Structure 1
């Protein structure tokens, strides 16, 4: 019969940020163990609260399935002599597999007849394998910062205080660092008194619920959100969706109860980010807004417990927030006393990176790179250029403000607020905020040209500088978020259709450092490595957009210096691929390119053409080349490729009418040169040899 199995690791409070990964690991390790041990089960689940990590396997078989393995040995000819008697090869193979030679089986394989040894392994009782599984699972979990406790050598997220392991109603015995498993668990730290004995595994979740613990994090998350929404509605407001905060709060408590608090309405005169950040980042409160999305003087928080004495809890939370908001108000008002521009020179005392100088030096490079990009893109509107110049100069000035020092996540946001307060144009203030975008995967992109240019200048400066001094992402290590910054540049350029040379920008960024750094790579080496780094980011972006791997390879293989242009080429190739003419395009290109590899010259001599079909192909090539050049200049890549496909019939006629590899070297080389030139027509758009038919 099948039984439920449960393993609970009881601990001191585990940080919320550890929990998603730990729960995922639990389920993955348990599912893998079930599969590898040939154990049938109904479901593998993993649960977690701050004080416990749990694996729950429903309907786990009491016994492993038998295992039959057919081990291949020597061929039949080598295993038996002409009389059918086993040879030394057969005897040695049988002995090595622990079977009698008479039990060897002859089977037909694609390579002929071979002998096999049938090895049958009887399934073990599940209960006998579970202790080892429990130990392996606990020791197999990894955490960002594991710790030791007492005199133990073991490392875990937090000290382990109890172990519960049941298979049905039977305790699975094992021991870790002197702690023995049993059938006892513990409920809510304050609302449940003493140990709770679990008679059988199916009782576990209900017993914990009775002890004020909702072990299932999905159930707990839903309960948190429903309560938050309900309380906000009762208070005449609403809470905007915030999955990150919701997940964190879910993993901070075991039995949620929502409540609403208030703060002084006078604080609403402050920028909303000044209020939201202390609430969200420091106190894990949900800000409340009205029907128009405007912040009101209320917040929703979660209590880890019941609704008893909620007024006392409410007053405590309001008191803490009142102090936080008072600090924020003080920082904000103090910062307003100093013009944002006066902070720029203070950046010379802040190190950007020990090998790359100060933040002030970075600001100077951002300004130079922003001006360069504006020039490259042909921007000449006077006010826009002023916005770029002033935005680049002020973009990091808020880093030395009191508010950003206390709340680093407000960088850029406070720069925008202070710029407006100082009388800067709103377009400059917006550029200061936008130059940090995108800050994370899925974040918004800059909405203004000035913000886009300054953002790309900032990011390329960091990327090129880090590569030049040997700081490059390796595996999961990317301390300066270079991957994210390269993705940011790609997204900004592609979505904004910003036309500039990526290679030239990389070279310019390297030159901006001058002799101020001790570079480990030369300008050329840096260009090659950074270009390849961007290529990998583009592959990811294009794959996310749904392009097939061969289209991506075909387009990137011929260059990606102009990022929006690269996307247009991928779209054109993909669109054409679904049309009947694409087959003609690929056929024409394949026939030509196969022979074109033998060409020793690019020069075509029309006078050397002998047959009408080759004269005709040359004439059509010239027409196609001239028309395709126009399509290329106008970035009409689909028409460009379609025009090439029209050469297919003329190419077929050519191959039917002439022999390319003739004895006459001049005629042969001339024909090969023609084919090479035809094959080269598509090189500006895609390498069609990469396309899988």
Structure 2
């Protein structure tokens, strides 16, 4: 027999960004615990609104499954005498496990026979185990910023105000945060607050919907989007898909109703971002566009309630947005009265980080590092002046009124103000794009100025923070260094930027010294820690691109100073695994590597001391393969280089068959080891094949 279970935690409003993770955790925890508690079930579903987290388990067994344990005892020959009498060993084993000797069974293991005690534990009724199971679910949930309330030691996303727990029609006897579970839930805070009794678990959704709560977040999201798109069409426009905004709105309300509002068309003369940011990021409104991609003086919002009085609600939203847009228009006009270049020195009033100077100090370091990157990336020398100007103005909009009020517009407003001041178009694009990518999956800069200044900005932040000892630990990353490193690695790989990570880290470190800032950690420590940090980001990126784990490890082991180079090597080695030559090269490398690593030191090959024909043959083959592979390696054609290296298989096999590498004569032995070391060095230019899984 089965019944459905509903378990609801009623809370004060939980932040929208907490909800997706909490619901996913709740489902995962419940699934694992049901297995652990031996309770069969059909399906686990989680529901959530700002005021509740709910777990619904359908088809839950009324009784645990029986547990059967087989406990290994002594060997059969030690358990009974020749005439079948039990020995002291087996009597003690049976007594310790609470079974009779006659109940023991025999099992064959690895050719030997042993006695086993079979213990059966009957399943307990589900109502007896559900309190512990559900409490374990609650205690297993984690949140970005949990809180305490009252005198309780418990921490949760927000204070818990009621608990509902029903197994079919029966209340599960459970206490959470000092609250006894019952059959009562609460509806919409204003339209039908409650309390409302739930007669049985299957009635849960219907009771809440009757009281203006759509608890199913998937249905709620679909309804919101349908209402928004239909309303936009009635207003003669369309809304663009915005999954992040839709998800946030979905977890801000319980009973959605969309409505449209309007604003003064004069505000459309402002840059689009100036209109959209207050609308979307501050008020959670959807902008409306026409078929030509032009912004309309219309917005759509979603309120938590019915369609009653939407006209009054709409006018209230219009007044709020009008005030926001009036402020934005004022800031925009006032900011343009002072040239962007005239604001650079005011960056001295903004602290970048207390031990790393001001934003003006950072700007000067970025200018210096950007010039060095032009050379490091082998870009045209005449770019240096434009890159330097871009770096000089990149952070200047931080001291404008617009960015102070709307921080989301940093870089964007700088590009508009620079254009207003008559700066070159390349400079304006670079100011905007040096923040790209802002997060994983974001667009990359298509401006060389934005790319160079963005790299310099990230390197300066990473080197400075690592130098100051501000290395991320666990979930703590207040300076978003993981995001900064991900951006740096992504640009290097996706834009195919060839540079030495060690050299640019050194250049950024020297920039702090030149600026009179002494970092707490020495350059070697920063190099080691930051290179490892970037290597982790690179490993994750390559994994996302579908490259095998062992290939990634093999290529990283061969060196990760050239981030883009690692990607190219990994991609082509991944492809080479499907070639006929892969097995040959792996075998050849492995034989050479296994002996070469026993050398314990580096030897110098002397071709004149090679005596046997197979030695000369391997040496000549190695020289020929080097000749073939060198231009391929220099051109980044690693697949072709690997195919050439695979030609070493036969001469290496002949070498091992024809001579004793570890010869007793030291001179002969070290020369042969030196030859194998050179074979390994050649292949190591692509990957450490010893890390590859056959």
Instruction: Name the CA shift for 1:656/1:163 in 2 (closer, same or farther; >3 Å).
Output: closer
- Alignment check: 8 A CA contact 2:262 2:299 kept: yes
Alignment of 1:198-597 (within 5 A): 198-382=198-382, 384-514=383-513, 516-597=516-597
Tell me which residue corresponds to 1:638.
Answer: 639
| 1:154 shift after superposition | 4.0
Q: Deviations over 1:605-630 (max 9, x none)?
A: 44444443333332222222233223
- Alignment check: 8 A CA contact 1:259 1:310 kept: yes
- Alignment check: 8 A CA contact 2:512 2:518 kept: no
Q: Deviations over 1:456-511 (max 9, x none)?
A: 11101111111111110111211111111111111112222222211100111111
Q: Return the alpha-carbon distance in structure 2 between the equivalents of residues 364 and 41 of structure 1.
A: 63
Q: Return the alpha-carbon distance in structure 1 between the equivalents of residues 123 and 496 of structure 2.
A: 63
Instruction: Name the CA shift for 1:334/1:83 in 2 (closer, same or farther; >3 Å).
Output: farther
In structure 1, stretches of 5+ residues that fail to align are none
Greater Cα shift, 97-106 or 498-507: 97-106
Tell me which residue corresponds to 2:628.
Answer: 627
Instruction: Name the CA shift for 1:241/1:172 in 2 (closer, same or farther; >3 Å).
Output: same
Q: Return the alpha-carbon distance in structure 2 between the equivalents of residues 48 and 59 of structure 1.
A: 21
The alignment of Structure 1 onto Structure 2 pairs a total of residues equal to 692
Q: Return the alpha-carbon distance in structure 1 between the equivalents of residues 190 and 120 of structure 2.
A: 54
Q: Secondary structure at the match of 1:514?
A: helix
Greater Cα shift, 12-21 or 535-544: 12-21
Tell me which residue corresponds to 1:158.
Answer: 158
Q: Deviations over 1:25-57 (max 9, x none)?
A: 221222122111111111111101122211111
Q: Secondary structure at the match of 1:647?
A: helix
Tell me which residue corresponds to 1:45.
Answer: 45
Instruction: Name the CA shift for 1:75/1:445 in 2 (closer, same or farther; >3 Å).
Output: same
| Structural RMSD (CA) | 2.1
Q: Secondary structure at the match of 1:58?
A: strand
- Alignment check: 8 A CA contact 1:469 1:518 kept: no
TM value normalised by structure 1 = 0.95
Q: Secondary structure at the match of 2:636?
A: coil
Q: Return the alpha-carbon distance in structure 1 between the equivalents of residues 76 and 554 of structure 2.
A: 49
- Alignment check: 8 A CA contact 1:602 1:677 kept: no
Q: Deviations over 1:294-317 (max 9, x none)?
A: 211111100211111111111111
- Alignment check: 8 A CA contact 1:601 1:669 kept: no
Instruction: Name the CA shift for 1:658/1:157 in 2 (closer, same or farther; >3 Å).
Output: closer
- Alignment check: 8 A CA contact 1:506 1:527 kept: yes
Q: Secondary structure at the match of 2:260?
A: strand
In structure 2, stretches of 5+ residues that fail to align are none
Q: Secondary structure at the match of 1:298?
A: strand
Structure 1: 4+ residue segments shifted above 6 A: none
Q: Return the alpha-carbon distance in structure 1 between the equivalents of residues 85 and 394 of structure 2.
A: 88
Tell me which residue corresponds to 1:145.
Answer: 145
Q: Secondary structure at the match of 2:35?
A: helix
TM value normalised by structure 2 = 0.95
| 1:369 shift after superposition | 0.7
| 1:661 shift after superposition | 4.1
Q: Secondary structure at the match of 1:587?
A: helix
- Alignment check: 8 A CA contact 1:344 1:360 kept: yes
Q: Deviations over 1:356-410 (max 9, x none)?
A: 111111111111110110122232352x322211110011111111111111111
Q: Secondary structure at the match of 1:6?
A: strand
Q: Return the alpha-carbon distance in structure 2 between the equivalents of residues 569 and 123 of structure 1.
A: 56
